[in-house]
Amino acid sequence: MRIAYFPGCTLNTTAKGFDNALRASFAALGAELVELPEWNCCGATFPLLVDNMLDLVAPTRVLLAAQRQGDRLAVACTMCYNVIRRTNNRLRSDADALEKLNYFIEAEYRGGVEVLDVLQILRDDVGFEAVQAAVKKPLTGLKVAAYYGCMVLRPPTEVAYDDPENPHALDDLLRALGAEPVEWPHKAECCGAYLAVKSKEATAEMSYRILSSAQRAGAQAVVTNCPLCQFNLDKQQLDMGRRHGGYQPVPVLYFSQLLGVALGLDTADFGWERHYVDVRPLLESLG
């Protein structure tokens, strides 16, 4: 299987490890992510004002680039997925908007591209059973908290491919890898997203709630599919001990990193050095 792939700015830079691990894992599973030959930033947030057409231009360009490659687009970054998918929904349901945007981009996007999250592709096209069969180093004994954030769940009618209140796709994948996903209540609570740039206090508090709940449930690591969640949760821990005495940091990983590890791939370029809370000791303890 080959599928057109949009990595997005963040996976091209700070979350390069997410991207490397993902591509390598997909390749090992016989699914090739073919990066769009030309692409641009999607804009990172879906414009919420009715008449804000301008901010739809960038994601429409991405859709146009995808249309040239076929009818399906894989997106790894959950924020990009959210923006591109919602833009696509709008263009498909609003002929007026489609016409305006086509005029802006001086091309014809026809609305035919299916925007898919990479986890969804793993589940529906590759299949978790196939993933399980390909596992070389099962993550036996590793207790993980699957954390979904907002972007692949809400708004449910527009973007969710999972149960929006009790999502389980990521838990199921981690189980297929041999890990033990813990039951915990804050899988889908918001980490604060871009509040990080304006209010450290708010993001720190939101991250703390999530991380402390995961740890109460016994998780040794938090696993996510969102680069902004990963950043917030990981980085906020640096001075969490100061705010919350006795707090013990917990590694925050991308699911693709664990996927690559379980598939027995070379993990040298998985971006371990980028993590604020070092992941390696935990992985080494797995043997």
Q: Which residues bind another protein (CB under 8 A)?
A: 8-10, 13-15, 41, 43-45, 47-51, 55, 77, 79-80, 150, 153-156, 163-166, 184-185, 189-190, 192-199, 201-202, 205-206, 209, 213, 216, 227-228, 231, 235
Nearest residue to 14 via CA among 227, 262, 233? 227
Strand partners for 29: none
Minimum CB distance to another protein, residue 160 (Å): 9
User: Rounded to an integer, what distance in angstroms lies between the CA atom of residue 254 and that of residue 147?
Assistant: 10
Nearer to another protein, 62 or 177 (CB): 62
CB-wise, 42 or 265, nearer to another protein?
42
Q: Which is nearer to another protein, 191 or 279 (CB)?
A: 191
SS3 state at 35? strand
Task: Please identify, using beta-carbon distances, which residue of 92 and 168 lies nearer to another protein.
Answer: 168
For residue 110, the minimal CB distance to another protein (Å) is: 25
CB of 89 to another protein, least distance (A): 14
Residue 114 or 158 having the CB closest to another protein: 158
Q: How far is the CB of 101 from another protein (least distance, A)?
A: 17
CA distance 150 to 174: 19
The residues facing 146 across adjacent strands are 223
Distance CA 152, CA 150 (A): 6
CB 256 within 8 A of CB 25: yes
Find the shortest distance in angstroms from Cβ 98 to another protein.
18
Of the pair 197, 268, the CB lying nearest another protein is at 197
Residue 47 CB, nearest approach to another protein (Å): 8
CB 211 within 8 A of CB 222: yes
178 — alpha (psi -120 to 50), left (phi > 0) or beta? Answer: left
CB of 126: closest distance to another protein in angstroms? 26
Closest CA to 27 of 233, 256, 201, 275: 256
b/e burial code for range 173-182 (CB count within 10 A of at least 16 → b): bbbbbbbbbb
Please name which of 242, 182, 191 lies closest in space to residue 215, comparing C-alpha atoms.
182
* Alpha helical stretches, state H, 161-199: 169-176
Beta bridge partners of 115: 73
Residue 135 or 195: the one with the smaller Cβ distance to another protein is 195
